[in-house]
Amino acid sequence: MRAVLYERYGPPYVLHLGDVKQPVPKRDELLVRVHASTVNRLDCHTREANRRGGLATSLLSRAVSGLRRPRQPILGSEFAGEVTMVGETVTEFTVGDKVFGNTGLRYGCHAEYVCVRQSARVGHMPAGANFDEAAPATDGAFNALWCLRRANLRPGQSVLVYGASGAIGTAAVQLASRYLGADVTAVCTAKSLNLVRSLGATRAIDYTREDFTESGAIYNAIFDAVGKHSFKRCRNSLAPGGSYLATDGFRNVLLAIWTAGFGDKKVRFALPPRYPRSDVVLIRDLIESGKYRPVIDRHYSMEDVVQAAEYVETEQKTGNVVLTIRSESSLRR
């Protein structure tokens, strides 16, 4: 089968197409013919061994992915496709089922086939969705749900989403407003102001023209979806008992421990994140009910994966970048 491979850590050009042996499902696995995946920041960070995070972060990344070279040469954590074979103990899926899901740090989705345990984060595709629409449904939503739940938001409470136009941010705006019933303020670039309003934000702020920390507005939670703000800068914008929600940064692990015992404003962050399989079903239900849709910026073919990775690394994408693995036209040939 064809796959996007990388045999060494480095910039996007280390990615290349190659042929590898097609996986065979184990007794509890299903074999999925992948139609679409995504290129996201997790792929990019892993591919370069998180070198931009500093030496300690890079060494930790290599300890997980392989010290000298990648143990798993195929990236891609999100997928949407069709079941082509099932193991003998698989009961929830049959050949021909259209499925979507997330393999996490097991990766393997930038390939024509991937094996997934039936107990893993996989589910039947949302009714009416195509493969390109289903593939980017999980990663941003998983991260958003993981963070938002830690704030224990109640309907009507206020939350500010910083970096609201990315994959996590666009998911957070929708889930906070339409699923949790919160009043959402979205901070993003000028080009995305109308988008975030359409996703459920009551107010939208262009961060290049206004600093929300100087406005005097107070929020029950501030969600930093891009890891570019800080608890220190946001503290005065939090209501008593408010939560600063972080998506990354080891400093936030320490701050979460510290603020748990001191002060009434908390940093909510814990590693590793937990993404239950039940969230795949929740995401499917939210898509089918019209309360959530993954925002798609661009589509790239497997052959253009280097350009896809380069675009993601500009940090200017809006929502998700889809990687088409198996197009409908290729199926007809």
Question: Are 2-137+295-332 and 141-268 the same fold in CATH?
Answer: no
Three-state helix/strand/coil letters over the chain: CEEEECCCCCCHHHCEEEECCCCCCCCCEEEEEEEEEECCHHHHHHHCCCHHHCHHHHHHHHHHHCCCCCCCCCCCCEEEEEEEEECCCCCCCCCCCEEEEECHHHCCCCECEEEEECCCCEEECCCCCCHHHHHHHCHHHHHHHHHHHHCCCCCCCEEEEECCCEHHHHHHHHHHHHHCCCEEEEEECHHHHHHHHHCCCCEEEECCCCCHHHCCCCEEEEEECCCCCCHHHHHHHEEEEEEEEECCCHHHHHHHHHHHHCCCCEEECCCCCCCCCHHHHHHHHHHHCCCCCCCEEEEEEHHHHHHHHHHHHCCCCCEEEEEECCCHHHHHC
Top-level class of domain 2-137+295-332? alpha beta
Is the model's pTM score more than 0.95?
no
pLDDT (tens, 9 = 90+) of the chain, 333 residues, equals 999 999 999 999 999 999 999 999 999 999 999 999 999 999 999 999 888 777 777 887 888 888 889 999 999 999 999 999 999 999 999 999 999 999 999 999 999 999 999 999 999 999 999 999 999 999 999 999 999 999 999 999 999 999 999 999 999 999 999 999 999 999 999 999 999 999 999 999 999 999 999 999 999 999 999 988 899 999 999 999 999 999 887 787 888 888 888 888 989 987 778 899 999 999 999 999 999 999 999 999 999 999 999 999 999 999 999 999 975 444 433
Architecture of domain 141-268: 3-Layer(aba) Sandwich (3.40)
Q: Domain ranges in the chain?
A: 2-137+295-332, 141-268
